[in-house]
Chain A
């Protein structure tokens, strides 16, 4: 079919057909991959059941290292979830054009990583079956409400608020595409899409509602974006007993680390989407270029915060804190982990990203973004575990921690779980927003300035409100 119209724009027909090739039809690799992932996920659930039956002894946790891989992975997934709002909300409010193919993928990454993150407190608790006391804010048992003062109670509140808001946001942005799907399917699927599309016909009033709704939700989500990971960081920061935890910088440090980690995860996902579904026309090198530039700024800010945190850790010259940092940075195996963390989190990827050739090379962006997430997972691990291993000046309580294969599998399981959910999502909803693509085609043009032909964007101006 005609790819480009007479103004060199991609035609709407082409856009629709290509971007819906994952939803209206199934790529060849989809069934085998989903089967494999489902297999791993089911094993994970079985292992979870085993842990419930026998107790947390199956992990490598001990006293005083009571929190290990599970909490690290929990914080990691909450961190990844910050990509969604960063990209959809902030870039929507600043009207950045390059967000367009990225927004929906980022939003579902948020939603599924939050859903995964919410599972981890269940996995890490000693008596999961009693957590009903905790998760439901109601004095269901003996008239006692959950303890709002505990950061561990504020966590699920914040995460579930974020999850609800993100889902709403995703849904509002999905509606026009759901209408497209409604008009292209039959039978049960058509009924499903009809209900969800809420009677969308694409008239100006509906478009205005959709845009305004998106912007309002973006603005509402921004405080949540900042507060969710801050609350998670306060799980650690409010504790005076553990060396290296009682630092005031944790809130913005974790948030900026989350943006670093999350946006890198989006880069990974974008590359996979381009390769998996063949969306070369829509996920272009310039998007990776823009993401990498954002990442460079964020990563440098993150490095600044890391430096400040380490500086103030040793600032007090407390013997226990110094002992902790010596172990964390100089003793094996922590020194190796610390080095890997610095290399993968900043030193390898960011100087690479200073070059446009690297930024527009999708394979390099893919691998560097994976490096970043390895580094960011290690960062959480290095914050949580060494502090507990060298807790307090009572050397009689110092202990080493080796994660058991059980915990490693659950970490692996979490990745399989998120990927599986996203693949299932892709069969029902399109991963790249169709209407955003079509809108960008309509809005873009080119003019001549002097001798150069320059691409342009049309920006709608806000009208003055009546009242």
Chain B
């Protein structure tokens, strides 16, 4: 390893750019072997999507606007899901990820109750893929059996692969080299992922900027999440297009 610096993986999501296309949801489902959601699952309230798009309506008719927030595991530094697992199946690793260890999980679902963002999912049944869909399963990601909790891992398999590659090539990781599936699929580049500890990374610059658009979800709970959101831009807030362009500049 060239340098042994501690990384801290984080994300910035620009909700102004998000158009609710749900490409991230689909990509995540494919990348991470998330069990198929059929109608029965939706009806029973057991549908699983590690990243979900929440849609809120703003304004009164006819000036109604739809606003979208992609919500995924926030990988909180002060995670409420971690201290409550009786078997240490979820813990915070030294790269800032909230890690879910599938083979340790006994499925008490206490972590899911502790998560205020409800981004944790439980396998109520044994996942089943039809014959012809089995070829697209990602070999880098474990298939979870019934009784196990799962959630967004910031595509840890891609992080591991990228880190391994950099190590083999005896170089540092470049910013943007590791992309999560949702980031790759995002049609508007609303999702930015990277190393928060690297002062040159895009995510680091965005999350440390003085922008008054920055916010985190449910700050009163003091979870200290690694995901920062940028609020939608109020077009009336900026006097001219130039200023508006500057504030959204990258």
Complex alpha-carbon distance, A126 and B112, angstroms: 13
Q: Is the CB of B80 within 8 A of A241?
A: yes
Listed stretches B7-15, B118-126, B202-210; interface member? B118-126
Cβ < 8 Å to A, chain B residues 78-133 = 80, 83-88, 104-110, 112-118, 121-126
B148 on the A face (CB < 8 A): yes
A97 on the B face (CB < 8 A): no
Q: Is the CB of B118 within 8 A of A391?
A: yes
On chain B, the residues within 8 Å of A391 by CB distance are 113, 116, 118
Q: Is the CB of B86 within 8 A of A240?
A: no
What's the minimum C-beta distance from A242 to chain B, rounded to whole angstroms? 6
Residue of B at shortest CB range from A397? B118
On chain A, the residues within 8 Å of B116 by CB distance are 240-241, 391-392
B6 on the A face (CB < 8 A): no
Q: Is the CB of A239 within 8 A of B108?
A: no
Q: Is the CB of B84 within 8 A of A127?
A: no
What's the minimum C-beta distance from A9 to chain B, rounded to whole angstroms? 54
Number of A residues near B (Cβ < 8 Å) is: 47
- Most interface-central of B46, B110, B125 (chain A CB within 10 A): B110
Q: Is the CB of B87 within 8 A of A134?
A: yes
- Most interface-central of B45, B54, B125 (chain A CB within 10 A): B45
Complex alpha-carbon distance, A151 and B46, angstroms: 26
On chain A, the residues within 8 Å of B84 by CB distance are 149-152, 238-239
Residue of B at shortest CB range from A235? B110
Complex alpha-carbon distance, A146 and B83, angstroms: 11
A131 on the B face (CB < 8 A): yes
Residues A146 and B87 in contact in the complex (CB < 8 Å), given A55-B147, A121-B108, A396-B52: yes
**A/B interface sample: 9 pairs, CB < 8 A:** A54-B146, A56-B122, A62-B46, A124-B108, A127-B105, A150-B84, A239-B84, A392-B117, A397-B118
CB contacts between A and B, total, < 8 Å: 139
Cβ < 8 Å to B, chain A residues 125-176 = 125-128, 130-131, 133-134, 141, 144, 146-147, 149-153
B221 on the A face (CB < 8 A): yes
Q: Is the CB of A127 within 8 A of B148?
A: yes
Listed stretches A63-71, A264-272, A303-311, A433-441; interface member? A63-71
Question: When the two chains form the complex, which single residue of B52, B71, B106 contacts A125, counting CB atoms closer than 8 Å?
Answer: B106
Complex alpha-carbon distance, A59 and B218, angstroms: 31
Question: When the two chains form the complex, which single residue of B87, B88, B122, B126 contacts A66, counting CB atoms closer than 8 Å?
Answer: B122
Q: Is the CB of A131 within 8 A of B126?
A: no
What's the minimum C-beta distance from A66 to chain B, rounded to whole angstroms? 4
A281 on the B face (CB < 8 A): no
Residue of B at shortest CB range from A60? B44
What's the minimum C-beta distance from A405 to chain B, rounded to whole angstroms? 14
Q: Is the CB of B45 within 8 A of A130?
A: no
Question: When the two chains form the complex, which single residue of B48, B83, B118, B146 contacts A57, counting CB atoms closer than 8 Å?
Answer: B146
Contact count band on B: 35 or more
Q: A55-B125, A147-B88, A391-B113 given. 8 additional CB < 8 A pairs? A: A125-B107, A126-B107, A126-B123, A147-B85, A149-B84, A241-B80, A392-B116, A394-B54
What's the minimum C-beta distance from A260 to chain B, rounded to whole angstroms? 26
Q: Is the CB of B86 within 8 A of A147?
A: yes
Q: Is the CB of B115 within 8 A of A126?
A: no
Q: Is the CB of A127 within 8 A of B106?
A: yes
What's the minimum C-beta distance from A402 to chain B, rounded to whole angstroms? 9
What's the minimum C-beta distance from A401 to chain B, rounded to whole angstroms? 8
Residue of B at shortest CB range from A142? B104
On chain B, the residues within 8 Å of A329 by CB distance are none
On chain B, the residues within 8 Å of A394 by CB distance are 54, 71, 117-118
On chain A, the residues within 8 Å of B115 by CB distance are 241
A372 on the B face (CB < 8 A): no
On chain A, the residues within 8 Å of B147 by CB distance are 55-56, 125-128
Complex alpha-carbon distance, A199 and B195, angstroms: 73
Cβ < 8 Å to A, chain B residues 173-200 = none
Q: Is the CB of B110 within 8 A of A150?
A: yes
Residue of B at shortest CB range from A245? B113
Q: Is the CB of B106 within 8 A of A133?
A: yes
Residues A150 and B86 in contact in the complex (CB < 8 Å), given A125-B147, A235-B110: yes
A226 on the B face (CB < 8 A): no
On chain B, the residues within 8 Å of A263 by CB distance are none
Residue of B at shortest CB range from A384? B113
What's the minimum C-beta distance from A119 to chain B, rounded to whole angstroms? 14
